[in-house]
C-alpha cells in the first residue's frame, strides 16, 4: 500500500525468504558457521536457542536449501507435540519413499525402518538432517527420551544423520535435565537480540533490498526502534512496517523518533485491547 510513497519495489518488512533480504548479525553468522560445520561433517546433534522473533526459523532455512537429488533430505518437525511413537513414525514417513508408517506399529519395527532408511541415505551420500523446531514446547519427557533413542541409531554401522533442536532459551534447561541427551549436544548455538548498530544496519539492509534510494528513518528514529524493539527482528519489522504505513497516511518524507514512539504506543494499546 505504501511502497510507491516511499519509492520502494516491495514492502521491506514483510515476511521475505529471499536471500537478498536476509541480514546476518554477528550471532547469526556464528550460528550459521557452527551449524554448517555440524551438517557438513556430520557431528551429530546441534542446539539452536533464541528468544521468539530472533530469526531461528529463517536461519535454518538459510542453512538448509531446498532439497534435490544431491542435497541431504531434511525433516522439519514443526509441531513436536506428538507421542513418542507418533514422532518417530512421522520422521520415518518423511524419510521414506513409501506409504506412511502406521503409529500402531511397534517401536521395534519403527526403529528398524528408520535404520534401514538412514543407512540407505548414508550410502548414497545424502545423510539426513532432522530439525525439531519449537522443541521448547515438548512437555512430555518421554518424547525427549524417544529422541535420545533416535540418536542411539548413530551407533549402527553405516548410519549417519544430523539432529538439530531449535527453540526458545528454556529448551537448553530442558535438555540439561536429561544428561544422556545433553551429552549428545556437540554444537550449541545462541541467537541474541541485535545491538543498536546492528538494528540500524538491519533496517537499512531491508530497505535497500526493497529498493530504497534515500533515507526513510532518521538516526534518532533508528535508535528509538532499537530501544522499543529490544533488538528483536520480528518486533523491528512490526514497528517499522506500521511506522511506514502511518508515515504514508500522514504524507511524511522522513520518519523521526517521535513518530516511532507514537506508533509504538499505538501498537502497545492495540495489543492490550
Contact by Cβ (8 Å): 91, 150: yes
Q: How far is CA 122 from CA 11, 46, 116, in A?
A: 42, 19, 10
Span 3-20+194-272 CATH architecture? Orthogonal Bundle (1.10)
Cell 522439519 found at: 76
Q: How far is CA 172 from CA 46, 82, 195, in A?
A: 11, 20, 23
Cα–Cα dist 4/210, whole Å: 11
Q: What is the domain partition of the chain in residue ranges?
A: 3-20+194-272, 26-191
Q: Sheet with 128-132: list strands edge to edge.
A: 74-77, 128-132, 161-167, 45-50, 185-191
Look up the pTM and report it.
Answer: 0.90
Whether the pLDDT of residue 70 is over 70: the answer is no
Whether the pLDDT of residue 167 is over 80: the answer is yes
Q: What average pLDDT does the chain have?
A: 91
Pick the CATH number of 26-191 from 3.30.565.10, 3.40.50.2300, 3.40.50.300, 3.30.70.20: 3.40.50.300
3-state SS, residue 48: strand
Q: What is the 3-state composition of the chain as percent helix, strand, coil, each rounded to the nearest 5? A: 55, 10, 35
**pLDDT tens digits, one per residue of 204-237:** 999 999 999 999 999 999 999 999 999 999 999 9
Q: Can you spell out the DSSP letters for 229-269?
A: HTT-HHHHHHHHHHHHHHHHHTT-SSB-HHHHHHHHHHHHH
3-state SS, residue 115: helix
| pLDDT recorded at residue 271 | 60
Percent of the chain residues past pLDDT 90, beyond the cut: 74
Amino acid at each position: 500500500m505504501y511502497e510507491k510513497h516511499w519509492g520502494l519495489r516491495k514492502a521491506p518488512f514483510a515476511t521475505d525468504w529471499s536471500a537478498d533480504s536476509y541480514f546476518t548479525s554477528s550471532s547469526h553468522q556464528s550460528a550459521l558457521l557452527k551449524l554448517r560445520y555440524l551438517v557438513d561433517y556430520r557431528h551429530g546433534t546441534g542446539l539452536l536457542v533464541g528468544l521468539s522473533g530472533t530469526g531461528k526459523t529463517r536461519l535454518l532455512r538459510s542453512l538448509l536449501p531446498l532439497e534435490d537429488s544431491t542435497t541431504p533430505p531434511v525433516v522439519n518437525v514443526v509441531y513436536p507435540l506428538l507421542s513418542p511413537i507418533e514422532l518417530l513414525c512421522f520422521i520415518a514417513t518423511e524419510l521414506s519413499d513409501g506409504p506412511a508408517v502406521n503409529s500402531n506399529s511397534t517401536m521395534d519395527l519403527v526403529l528398524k525402518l528408520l535404520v534401514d532408511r538412514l543407512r540407505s541415505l548414508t550410502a548414497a551420500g545424502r545423510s539426513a538432517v532432522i530439525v525439531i523446531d519449537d522443541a521448547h514446547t515438548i512437555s512430555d519427557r518421554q518424547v525427549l527420551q524417544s529422541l535420545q533413542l533416535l540418536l542411539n541409531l548413530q551407533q549402527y554401522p553405516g548410519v549417519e544423520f544430523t539432529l538439530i533442536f531449535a527453540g526458545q532459551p528454556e529448551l537448553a534447561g530442558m535438555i540439561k535435565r536429561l544428561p544422556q541427551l545433553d551429552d549428545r549436544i556437540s554444537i550449541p548455538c545462541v541467537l541474541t537480540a541485535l545491538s543498536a548498530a546492528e538494528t540500524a544496519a538491519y533496517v537499512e539492509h531491508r530497505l535497500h533490498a526493497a529498493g530504497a534510494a534515500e533515507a526513510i528513518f532518521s538516526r534518532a528514529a533508528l535508535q528509538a526502534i532499537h530501544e522499543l524493539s529490544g533488538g528483536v527482528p520480528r518486533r523491528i519489522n512490526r514497528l517499522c512496517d506500521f511506522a511506514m504505513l502511518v508515515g504514508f497516511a500522514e504524507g511524511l518524507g522522513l520518519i523521526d523518533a517521535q513518530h516511532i514512539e507514537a506508533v509504538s504506543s499505538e501498537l502497545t494499546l492495540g495489543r492490550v485491547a
